[in-house]
C-alpha cells in the first residue's frame, strides 16, 4: 500500500489546486463593480459551450491598443521619449543630423517645443532616430533604453508602467481560449522588445505602425534594415484595415482609450453575434492622469459620446481599478 498512497496524495493535491484555480478571482485588481461584471459576463457567455452566445476558440480574437490602454502615455508616448533620447545620443556623434528646429529641440529634450509641431513633428523625430539600422540593432537599443530610462514623474522603468488590471485581463482572456493581440499606433519594432515579457503577447500577435524596411546584404549577411519613411500608420481607420489584413477575422472584443481606437472598436462592435468594446477612461489624476476631450495625447471624444450606444464598457480608472501600475502598488 505504501506505493499507492503517494499517488493518491498527488491526485488529491491536484484536485484541490484545480478547484482553487477555478474559484480564484482572475481579475483581482478590478474592483467589484458593474464594469467588472460586464466583462466577466461577456467572457462567460462566449466560452460556455451551451450558451447561445458561444464562440469557438479560433474566433475568440481580442485586440487592444497599447498607449493609454495597456500602459501609460503621459506626458507623451513613451516611444517618443525614447526617440528624443536616441536622437540626442546620435547627435553627440554627428550634430549635423539635427537639420531642423524640431530635431534640435527634440535632441535638447524640449518636449514643449516639439509638441507645438503636432503629429508631423513627432513623426519627424521618430523618422530621424529609428532608421538606417538593422531591426536587431534597433531592438537592442530599445532594450538598453528600457533598462536604464526612468519616467520623469513616477521614476519607474517605462515597462513597469503597464496597467496591472489590463495584464490580468489579457491573461484571463488567454486562459479562456482567446487570442490576444496588440493593435497600436506605436511602433511595431519598439513594442516587440517588451510586449512578450510585459503582457505575454508574442511578436506575431503585435500589430503597430511600421517604417519602410529593406532587404539587403550587409557585409554579405542578408539583413532587414529599417529605412526612412513610414510605410503604414496603424491608427484610426488603419486599425481595422491592419486587423483585417493581418489577422483576417473581425475581433469579438476590442479595448482602447482614445479616438484613434474608435474605428477598431466600432468595427468590432458591428460584427454579428456577441461583441464587447472596453474603453479605458483616464479619470485618476491622483494615481495616474485624468484626461479625455481636450488632451493633445489620447484625445477621447467619440468613444465617450457613441461608445455606450454600442454597448461598450467604460472603465473608470479611479473607480474600477484597485491598483494601477504593474511596477508599483
Cis status, amide bond into 40, omega within 30 of 0: no
Residue whose CB is less far from its own copies, 122 or 201: 201
Q: Which is nearer to its own copies, 86 or 189 (CB)?
A: 189
Q: How far apart are CA 204 and CA 223, in angstroms?
A: 19
> What is the closest distance, in whole angstroms, from the C-beta atom of residue 281 to its own copies in the complex?
22
Closest distance to its own copies from the beta carbon of 120 (Å): 22
- Positions in the binding site for its own copies (CB under 8 A): 58, 135, 179, 188, 192, 202-204, 206, 210, 213-215, 221-222, 224, 237-238, 240-241, 244-249, 263, 266-267, 270
The residue among 33 and 210 lying less far from its own copies, judged by its C-beta, is 210
Alpha-carbon 70 to chain mean position: 4
* Least spacing, CB of residue 101 vs its own copies, in Å: 33
CB of 203 to its own copies, least distance (A): 3
Complex with its own copies: residue 67 or 266, whichever CB lies closer: 266
Using the Cα atoms of residue 221, residue 225, residue 108 and residue 67 in order, give the sign of their dihedral: negative
Q: Considering the complex, state which of residue 89 and residue 244 has its C-beta at the smaller distance from its own copies.
A: 244
Q: Which of 197, 217, 190 is nearest to 77 (CA)?
A: 190
The CB-of-321 to its own copies minimum distance in angstroms stands at 30
Angstrom distances, CA of residue 213 to CA of 32, 87, 91, 128, 134: 46, 20, 23, 14, 9
State the nearest-atom distance from the C-beta of 117 to its own copies, in Å: 27
Which string of DSSP letters, residue by residue, matches 111-175? HHHHHHTHHHHHHHHHHHHH-SEEHHHHHHHHHHHHHH---TTT---GGG-BBHHHHHHHHHHHH
Largest CA distance in the chain: 83
Quote the CA–CA distance of 325 and 323 in Å, as a whole number: 6
Q: Which CB atom, from 7 or from 22, has the smaller least distance to its own copies?
A: 7
Q: How far is the CB of 233 from its own copies (least distance, A)?
A: 13
Nearer to its own copies, 7 or 221 (CB): 221
In 3-state terms the chain splits into helix, strand, coil percentages (rounded to 5) of 45, 20, 35
Q: Residues 121, 105: contact at Cβ < 8 Å?
A: no
Residues contacting residue 196 through CB under 8 Å, at least 6 positions apart: 202, 203
Amino acid at each position: 500500500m505504501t506505493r499507492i498512497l503517494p499517488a493518491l496524495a498527488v491526485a488529491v493535491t491536484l484536485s484541490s489546486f484545480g478547484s482553487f484555480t477555478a474559484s480564484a478571482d482572475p481579475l483581482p485588481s478590478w474592483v467589484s463593480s458593474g464594469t467588472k461584471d460586464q466583462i466577466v459576463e461577456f467572457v462567460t457567455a462566449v466560452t460556455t459551450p451551451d450558451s447561445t452566445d458561444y464562440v469557438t476558440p479560433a474566433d475568440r480574437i481580442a485586440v487592444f491598443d497599447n498607449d493609454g490602454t495597456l500602459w501609460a502615455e503621459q506626458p507623451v508616448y513613451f516611444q517618443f521619449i525614447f526617440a528624443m533620447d536616441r536622437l540626442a545620443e546620435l547627435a553627440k556623434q554627428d550634430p549635423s543630423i539635427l537639420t531642423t528646429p524640431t530635431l534640435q529641440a527634440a535632441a535638447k529634450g524640449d518636449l514643449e517645443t516639439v509638441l507645438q509641431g503636432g503629429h508631423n513633428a513627432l513623426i519627424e523625430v521618430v523618422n530621424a532616430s529609428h532608421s538606417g539600422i538593422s531591426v536587431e540593432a534597433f531592438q537592442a537599443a530599445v532594450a538598453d533604453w528600457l533598462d536604464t530610462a526612468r519616467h520623469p514623474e513616477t521614476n519607474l522603468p517605462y515597462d513597469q508602467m503597464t496597467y496591472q488590471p489590463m495584464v490580468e485581463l489579457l491573461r484571463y482572456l488567454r486562459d479562456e481560449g482567446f487570442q490576444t493581440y496588440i493593435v497600436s499606433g506605436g511602433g511595431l519594432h519598439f513594442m516587440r522588445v517588451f510586449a512578450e515579457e510585459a503582457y505575454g503577447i508574442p511578436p506575431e500577435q503585435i500589430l503597430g505602425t511600421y517604417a519602410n524596411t529593406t532587404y539587403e546584404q550587409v557585409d554579405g549577411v542578408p539583413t532587414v534594415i529599417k529605412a526612412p519613411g513610414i510605410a503604414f500608420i496603424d491608427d484610426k481607420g488603419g486599425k481595422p484595415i491592419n486587423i483585417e489584413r493581418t489577422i483576417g477575422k473581425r475581433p469579438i472584443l476590442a479595448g482602447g482609450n482614445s479616438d484613434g481606437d474608435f474605428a477598431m472598436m466600432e468595427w468590432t462592435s458591428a460584427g454579428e453575434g456577441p461583441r464587447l468594446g472596453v474603453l479605458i477612461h483616464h479619470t485618476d489624476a491622483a494615481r495616474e492622469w485624468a484626461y479625455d476631450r481636450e488632451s493633445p495625447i489620447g484625445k477621447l471624444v467619440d468613444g465617450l459620446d457613441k461608445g455606450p450606444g454600442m454597448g461598450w464598457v467604460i472603465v473608470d480608472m479611479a473607480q474600477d481599478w484597485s491598483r494601477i501600475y504593474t511596477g508599483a502598488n
